[in-house]
Amino acid sequence: SNKKLLILPGDGIGPEVMREVRRVIDWMDRRRAVRFDIEEALVGGAAIDVHGVPISAETVAKAKAADAVLFGAVGGPKWDGLGFDRRPELAILTLRRELGLFANLRPATVLDPLVDASTLKPEVVRGLDIMIVRESTGGIYFGEPRGIESLPDGTKKGVNTEVYTTPEIERVARVAFELARRRQGRVCSVEKANVMESGLLWRQTVTALREREFPDVELTHMYADNCAMQLVRNPRQFDVIVTTNLFGDLLSDLASMLTGSLGMLPSATLGGLGPDGRRHALYEPIHGSAPDIAGKGVANPMAQILSFAMLLRFSFDMTEDAALIERACTNVLASGLRTADIMQPGMARVSTQVMGEAVTRE
């Protein structure tokens, strides 16, 4: 049966890099048995301009009905003054909430031809392939009580609370264990059980879940501060890292820079199972709408293309097609083509479109 795909290009370079994904999809449509039923809708500033809201109820309904959502990026200076409840970024926050997207997957992978672009030494990052699974709907960003309180003595108190329940911990840990089974079979669970009660519960819950359901997967535990250090000292020791919302926010940004460029990095956010047993999922590059280069045709389309590869792998079980796309990206880089953001001495600087055409041809 046809795969239902909702494409949301968004603002800035979003539509530019999405065009190159469409090029890859067109090629697949022409060559392969699999067909995609594709719908496209406006989100972010583009939707504000037309519908007055960053995402319409109709688009949310389409996302719920789709097998997977491919998202570009939203935002830009044109919509910066709109206020908290009308900003373009609400599009992604709304989708996360409505689809129950609780597990954010951020790979930190170094493609061989870009080893020298890393901030670390080539021998430290060659072959790096980490998957960080960040809990993304709970924890300290959402826990109650929260707020700023005035105290009788005229000073103030700011409060946030980290709350995790065992079901919240189990569902994100399950995603990590399942991923590890398809990779090197190792999960490192990261928290601060030494100083935080929620961290202690996290550690106990992940340990018990492994014993019950995933005895074949190797589980280690690490304190978050040590993990930050280990990611820089010897990142290749990790396979899958599973961690809380706050620590995952920091550690995934840190890990992404081991690999060099924002323009290369995909991500996925997975949700609960829908009524028909499908897992809701949204895929997007980690970069934003890059207003500074939008409209110039110079953005790197690889993060968006690799997000589509992740979609094929996790939502459509098209592992071989995903691997083909990833290999095509590696080969195109090896042939010496570079967009401006990943330019290296002696390489050929090309446009978004030329890069997309090269990946499709490869």
Q: How many CB atoms lie within 10 A of CB 159?
A: 11
249 binds Mg ion (CB under 5 A): yes
83 is in an annotated binding site: yes
Residues 158-217 that bind ligand NAI (CB under 6 A): none
CA-nearest of 15, 21, 12 to 266 is 21
**DSSP code of residue 218:** E
CB-based contact 165:204 (threshold 8 Å): no
CA torsion sign, 195 to 196 to 201 to 206? Answer: negative
Is residue 92 close enough to count as binding ligand NAI by CB under 6 A?
Answer: yes
Q: Is 4 a catalytic residue?
A: no
Q: In the annotation, is 64 catalytic?
A: no
**Cβ atoms of 159 and 145 closer than 8 Å:** yes
Phi, psi of 164 (to 5 degrees): -135, 135
Tokens of 111: 């493609």
290 binds, among ligand NAI, Mg ion, none (CB under 5 to 8 A by kind): ligand NAI
> Identity (one letter) of the amino acid at 259?
T
Residue 315 DSSP class: T
Q: At what angle do helices 14-31 and 352-361 cross, to 10 degrees?
A: 20
Q: Does 291 bind ligand NAI (CB under 6 A)?
A: yes
Q: Are 241 and 230 in contact (CB under 8 A)?
A: no
We find the least distance from the C-beta atom of residue 277 to ligand NAI, in angstroms, to be 28
- 8-state DSSP, 280: E
Partner in contact with 289, chosen from ligand NAI, Mg ion, none, beta carbon below 5 to 8 Å by kind:
ligand NAI
Number of H helices, E strands in the chain: 12, 14
Q: Is 106 known as a binding-site position?
A: yes
Active site residue 239: no
Q: Is 22 annotated as a binding residue?
A: no
Q: What is the DSSP string of 17-37?
A: HHHHHHHHHHHHHHHSS--EE
**66 interface partner picked from ligand NAI, Mg ion, none, CB below 5 to 8 A per type:** none
Q: Which of 303, 305, 325, 358 binds ligand NAI (CB under 6 A)?
A: 303
Asked if 85 interacts with ligand NAI (CB under 6 A), we say no
With CB under 6 A as the rule, give the number of residues binding ligand NAI: 23
- Pick between residue 187 and residue 309 the one whose CB is nearest to ligand NAI: 309
Q: Among this protein's residues, is 223 annotated catalytic?
A: no
Binds 274: which of ligand NAI, Mg ion, none (CB < 5-8 Å by kind): none
Count the Cβ atoms, other than its own, within 10 Å of residue 187. 28
Note whether 72 and 18 are within 8 A (CB): yes
Active site residue 62: no
Pick the binder of ligand NAI from 39, 40, 89, 170 (CB under 6 A): 89
Query: Which residues, numbered 15-44, are part of the site for ligand NAI (CB under 6 A)?
Result: 17
Instruction: Pick the closer one to ligand NAI by CB: 73 or 246.
Output: 73
Q: Can you spell out the DSSP letters for 189-202? A: EEE-TTT-HHHHHH
Does the annotation place 293 within a ligand binding site? yes
By CB under 6 A, tell whether 76 contacts ligand NAI: yes
CA distance 121 to 111: 14
Asked if 73 touches ligand NAI (CB under 6 A), the answer is yes
- Residue from 104, 300, 307, 360 that binds ligand NAI (CB under 6 A)? 300
Tokens of 132: 């960080």
Of 174, 190, 186, the closest CA to residue 218 belongs to 186
266 binds ligand NAI (CB under 6 A): no
| Contact of residue 288 among Mg ion, ligand NAI, none (CB under 5-8 Å per partner type) | ligand NAI
239 is an interface residue for Mg ion by CB under 5 A: no
User: Cβ 28 to ligand NAI, closest distance in Å?
Assistant: 22
Contact set with Mg ion (CB under 5 A): 249, 253
Q: Residues annotated in the binding site for substrate, as ranges?
A: 96, 106, 134, 225
> Which residues contribute to the annotated binding site for NAD(+)?
76-89, 288-300
Q: Give binding residues as ranges.
A: 76-89, 96, 106, 134, 225, 249, 253, 288-300
Active site residues: 141, 192, 225, 249, 253
